[in-house]
A and B are shown apart, each in its own frame.
Chain A
Amino acid sequence: MTSNIDRRAFLRQAGLAGTALVIGFYLPGCKKQDGPEPEGSITLFKGNVDDVPEGTGINPFVIIDDQGNITLMAHRPDMGQGTYQSMPLLIAEELDVTLDQVTIKQAPGDKKYGDQGVGGSASVRTMWEPMRKVGAAAREMLALAAATRWGIDRADCDTENGMVINRKTDERLAYADLVAAAAQLPIPENPPLKSPDKFRLIGKSVARPDVPLKVRGAANYGLDMKKEGMVYALIERAPSFSSKVKAIDDSAVLAIPGVQKVLKTERILFKKRMEGVAVIADSYWAALQGRRALKVTWENDEVLLDTAAIYDKLRAAAQKEGVEVSSEGAFARAYAAAPVRLEAEYETPFAAHAAMEPQNALVEVRADSCEIWAPTQFPQWAQQEVAKTLGFQPEQVTVHVAFLGGGFGRRALPDFILEGVVLSKELGVPVKVVWTREDDMTQSPFRPGSVNRLQGGISSDGQLVALQHKVTTPSISYSLFPGMSGSNGEGGEMEPVNEHLYDIPNYQSRYVFADVDPIPLVWWRSVYSSTNVFAHECFIDELAEAAGKDPVAFRMAMLQTNQRNRKFLQFLAEKANWEKPLPENWARGIAMTHCFNTTAGHVVEISRNSAGKIRIERIITAVDCGIAVNPDNVKAQCEGCVVMGLSAALKPAITFTNGAATENNFHTYPILRINEMPQLEVHVVPNEEAPTGSGEPALPPLAPALANAISRLTGKRIRKLPLEDGLMG
């Protein structure tokens, strides 16, 4: 995979000099309560997203004012993955400023920043060079401005801690004194970048600037955005994804204090439209009370899917040939000729993202503009879709980005923002749409379930000579976007098994499309890798067993071509003491993968007690993501992947009854809690390769490593997730 970004065009765009515009949002004033003056003053409406500061923008990312304040704009939304630090840090490294010297501000959606979407574990790996070039270009312009003032060569200037230093005289000029002149200079297209041995910030576990805000409750999330004159909107959802509103009885609703209005509305999810009934009120609580008192009659003329029918459909589809997505050698011939042949079918469930912050958006539609405050992974995508909905140009729509209370792929979509747009346009006031947890869990687009069929042939000397991986799963791109057939397996459905990790002479991947409309689907942390790798790595383990080989040795024999992955597996096996014997009733399992350009894997150690219950004793995780820009944060991301992977493997699935999701809150869709957290060690492979993804790659191999350990201990193969109830204890 390579980045599609035209780096030169990016730098040119990102290097537009000029004074940054102030498009601030500050709501002064504090709403006084009636009655006696209380001791504690109440401020309901604050300036609760970052303003673009005044000052001279050397480029859109670097703004320096004459007081010497240096602001770096964090252009990528932060959902917990750390871009609020990592993007500015890459700039700061080359700009030669310390993080203490800069203020980081979250940028609104604006094409002058280039692509702002966060997903695909892509920010650091695609911005690694462009962000450093942004910093280096600014540094070069400042140094040249100083050199010109001193009448010396640029080569005789050093930069350090926000100063340019005259090497000959040791005179110093602060960036603040140079910024006006620097901004007039041409932007260098290829400014020199530091060699890794000169890095002061990159590769160090630098404390994240958002953490002090978050431990004080002072970080502003989407849900915290408030604006004077706004109304709250809660939307009663249809009993199935295809139900239509037949009749609304709001007689009891309007009697509730604070409720203002009830109206039919819709949720726009690209090609899908879902009807709902909005209750408008002056507080969340009043709107919720109103929603509870609302009576809606729904009608539905479509066949209502349930989980059993969905999996019958997937299993039947899995019998089809499907389309070939990738092939090397001649699988069919090699498989037919293999003395030992294995086949197995694996099933994975639908899953919800269940980010801790329910979906929400504050939207103000005016006659010729629209302003949005929302937790979105893709501010410019939201800007475009809002503009389309309103018949505006994107420039008429401002999207302020709040901290995201989790994202995991769900917040890529602008549907919850568009709900606010539809309502604010109709009502003529700012509208704050808030989803309940039940809305979030039952209405959110889901990770699709899958059926994976694998066939493998082993030679007489125990080598894997033929492997076929056939994935049967609904297509996310078909589910969301008009005009997509979804049937060619080129919408990411085959990731990462369209490329094989191991040296297998005859390998084929195939895809079978299965439609589960109208159930909405979307990317879930590590997307199809989260399900495909489960099947793939469990089957590799089955093949190793059939070949009579140790799972590490079996894999190692197939890692000759890619020496980096071979070293990775050695690293993981060493860290886990793979060769060390375990006590009785203990076992280890291993799995690894390569996705988002990163190699990651786990060894899971388990034990079985006298009652036959299995317990996870220890998880050893390794990741090779090139240079870890912030090693501690890479570890944190791996820890997150392990926990989310464990939840998906151990906890109940999302199921469907009569066309709607059954699980509706954390009691029916539980996720891992602290008492279930196993001992965990994360090891980052040290190297100086360019950075690759870190937010997702450690998730896919977790479930197969656990399943392989269980199979080894119990002799019974695990071919379905989540694990059967009662197995763990």
Chain B
Amino acid sequence: MSLIKLSVNGKSYQVEVAEDMPLLWVIRDFLGMNGTKFGCGIGQCGACTIHLDGQPIRSCSTPVLAAIGKKITTIEGISEKGDHPVQQAWIAEQVPQCGYCQSGQIMSAVALLNEKEAPSDADIDAAMVGNICRCGTYKRVRAAIHRAAADKREMLSKR
């Protein structure tokens, strides 16, 4: 057990946990943020996707030690009021069904749109292939990413 300092969504936290504990369980069970989900435990489904210094990672397979000195962003941290362009696009396209995988889907999509202004379908496939949705919302995930990208471009062009 170690006393570990973490930066999550712009705030600092201190937790006493085993050093090999995956970030997922630190975030959920020790920081009380439940938006990041447990799906498979082996980095296969993407439900636990968060950002570490802006890069999407699978928090179920990343030990807490790997996050020391880095910036963690979870679904709770991408916007104050749930109005990030990606979240708005997700609402406009009514993407979620059960919704359990959607935090991870959104975190992967946000990371993609930070990299690419106008992602192609192939870009979307490459960025989102690690996020499984058993309800089958893929068509809408794709539409929502295109919509968010278009909204973002329009916003930028108005500036």
Contacts and interface: CB of A to CB of B under 8 A. Distances in A.
B35 A356 contact: no
A138 B44 CA distance: 49
A355 interface: yes
A51 B36 CA distance: 24
A561 B8 CA distance: 64
B129 to A, nearest CB: 5
A482 interface: no
A39 interface: yes
A9 B99 CA distance: 35
A355 B15 CA distance: 31
A79 B98 CA distance: 5
Nearest to B16: A34
Interface in A46-83: 46, 48, 78-82
A98 B158 CA distance: 35
A1 interface: no
A217 B76 contact: yes
A220 B28 CA distance: 12
Interface in A206-226: 207-208, 210-221, 223-224, 226
B45 interface: yes
A44 B35 CA distance: 13
A694 B79 CA distance: 34
A405 interface: yes
Contacts of B34: 48, 217, 220-221, 223-224
Interface in A189-245: 205, 207-208, 210-221, 223-224, 226
Interface stretch (A265-273, A495-503, A507-515, A667-675): A667-675
Contacts, number: 220
Contacts of B31: 40, 42
Interface string A238-273: 000000000000000000011000000000000000
Given A283-B25, A358-B38, A403-B99, A211 B94 contact: yes
A644 interface: yes
A26 interface: no
A406 B102 CA distance: 12
Nearest to B12: A39
A686 B55 CA distance: 46
A211 B94 CA distance: 7
A512 B159 CA distance: 70
Given A285-B21, A666-B45, A639 B140 contact: yes
B113 interface: no
Given A220-B34, A285-B18, A632-B94, A640 B87 contact: no
Task: Name which of B22, B29, B36, B126 has the most chain A CB atoms within 10 A of its CB.
Answer: B29
A616 to B, nearest CB: 13
B119 interface: no
Given A36-B14, A207-B94, A356-B47, A215 B87 contact: yes
Contacts of A284: 25, 29, 38
Interface string B126-156: 1011011111111111100000000000000
B100 A35 contact: no
Task: Name which of B3, B106, B132 has the most chain A CB atoms within 10 A of its CB.
Answer: B132
Contact of B11 (A38, A406, A641): A38
A211 B135 CA distance: 14
Interface in B77-132: 79, 82, 87, 90-91, 94-103, 106, 124-126, 128-129, 131-132
Interface string B33-54: 1111111111011010000000
B59 interface: no
Nearest to A675: B125
A42 B16 contact: no
Contacts of B135: 80, 356, 406, 640, 643
Task: Name which of A33, A436, A438, A641 has the most chain B CB atoms within 10 A of its CB.
Answer: A33
B47 A643 contact: no
Interface string A282-320: 011110010000000000000000000000000000000
B106 A42 contact: no
A674 B106 contact: no
A112 interface: no
B15 A39 contact: no
A666 B44 contact: yes
Interface string A572-615: 00000000000000000000000000000000000000000000
Nearest to A286: B18
B67 interface: no
A633 B98 CA distance: 12
Contacts of A205: 94
A80 B141 contact: no
A285 B96 CA distance: 28
Contact of A640 (B29, B38, B42, B136): B136
A115 interface: no
A645 to B, nearest CB: 9
A354 interface: yes
A43 interface: yes
B147 to A, nearest CB: 13
Contacts of B132: 356, 666, 671, 673
B32 interface: yes
A405 B36 CA distance: 13
Interface in A357-372: 357-358
A81 B40 CA distance: 23
Contacts of A214: 96, 99, 102
27 contacts: A31-B32, A43-B32, A45-B32, A48-B34, A79-B98, A211-B90, A214-B96, A215-B90, A215-B96, A216-B79, A283-B17, A283-B29, A284-B25, A354-B134, A355-B134, A356-B39, A356-B101, A357-B100, A358-B39, A403-B100, A404-B98, A405-B101, A636-B94, A641-B136, A674-B131, A675-B125, A677-B138
* A-B pairs, 3 with minimum CB distance: A217-B35, A643-B136, A405-B100
